[in-house]
Structure 1
Amino acid sequence: MAADFKLTFLGTGTSVGVPVIGCPCRVCHSEDPRDKRTRSSVHVRCGDISVLVDSGPDLRAQALREGLTKVDAVIYTHAHVDHVVGFDELRAFCWHRESPLPLHATPETMGVLKRMFGWAFSTENVFRGYIKPDPQLIDGPFSVGDLRITPLPVQHANADTVGFLFEPPEGPKVAYIPDVKHVPPATMNLLEGADILIIDALREQPHPTHLSTEEALAIITECGVPRAWLTHLSHENPHSELEAILPSGVLVAHDGLKIRA
């Protein structure tokens, strides 16, 4: 990998996190720190460029844990609550900026953000210390600094959803798809040549809007990527037991894990 690229898993859990409130199961009471999963998100650093993927409800705790103090852009996969509701925490990344913070999202997702957080996008938002968003609609590949980012359209429930393919100037192509039930052929073509795939694998049993472990492994095999990590994991996945049954080259992501150059 290139020496200036790092991807950090801020969170690897499903929409309710792990442990689940009130759940008596053994994973929710596990002493393995890898079984503690905040809502799914990643942070990508490429040289001096800092990119946040989604702003979930655990963003404050995740940023404090990882010492995250600077974000140059936020890119959104979709508008489900567990990926957007930490929006107000973005204030901390606007305080020291002279220019608005770029937010990249599909038109549908941007529309939801504007409805949910209308005050931030209002022309009356002139007070220093508030979020100052610079909305950027995703309609194809784009760049943040030298980092090229290609949207990966996928099917997930009824929400307009994309993953992302990150291509630094040197080093690996890294695909991140945290919420998906079906990967269309056009997106499978975009994954050709990817070095790393990070993909949704909710649980062993089938689910109507997320990939099961078996389904995720089938996509990994079809893509032919040499390395893959499973994410967006429910409390039905004991980390150590799941990783023990996975094929070579496939690992289980956990909060705080870093894929380094």
Structure 2
Amino acid sequence: MQQSKFSFHHDLGGLEVLHNIDKKTDFGRHNHSGYTVALVDCGAQRFFRSGGQHLAGTNSIILINAEQVHDCRKACDGISSYRSMYPTPEFFNSLMDSTKNRAPYFSDAVIHDQVLASQLRGLFNTLDCPTSQLEKQTQLVSFLTNLCASTSQLQQAEDQKSLKCRIELAKNYLLDHLFDDIGLSELASLIHMSQFHFVRAFKVQTGLTPHAFQIQHRLNHAKAMLRRGDNISQVANSVGFYDHSHFSRYFKKNMGITPNQYKQAC
């Protein structure tokens, strides 16, 4: 009964929603530019977040912060399904009318709150049906407001220690040259580290290797190009993948659907 359904909501600021029913393939470690807010409809899911493993059973809510590295796999014998959405930090900031560009931080990976779970279930059901913008927007804002009030903390200002600043410099350099063929020695030299120390420090700081970080952000750009209707092969070439199959393999590993399925849903 394995099935994946993806939807993209232009009238909700580009909100992405994914419904996975009895997914057989595990998602390896990755991250999203938006938060992951998921409801386990039945069965159970096990996932890595914040340096540890977490188990989410039926009616529990999974919370993963934006850019936070995680994985996901089925954790029961019977059918397991979940629905997830990916609101961006910018969307949260707009809800809070923030002038400081601060977004919430969810310290708990799994929460068991039947009121919030019921509200999230109703929201997903509404998003899956043809209805007015006002109804969808009102339910989404109401749920996220209640979620933040119940479970989140304001994200703390970044630590300014030397190592973190140097890794941030390397991250920014990677992003500025995202589609270039950058070598490890070039990145390590940029911040005056050995290649071994750099890879280790980068992974501790970001949860990803430099290569995985590069792939993740290339895929984010690719999604934006697919949403505007660009040809898949051209997208693959534009964002630095060798060919269509190479791009599709990484895309499905990250999203659980093919680039063509994503493009059709948008």
Same fold at TM > 0.5: no
- The structure whose residues are more often strand, as a share, is 1
Q: TM-score, normalised by structure 2?
A: 0.30
Q: Which protein shows a greater Rg?
A: 2
Q: Which has the higher contact order (CA 8 A, sep 6+)?
A: 1
- The structure whose residues are more often helix, as a share, is 2
Q: TM-score, normalised by structure 1?
A: 0.31
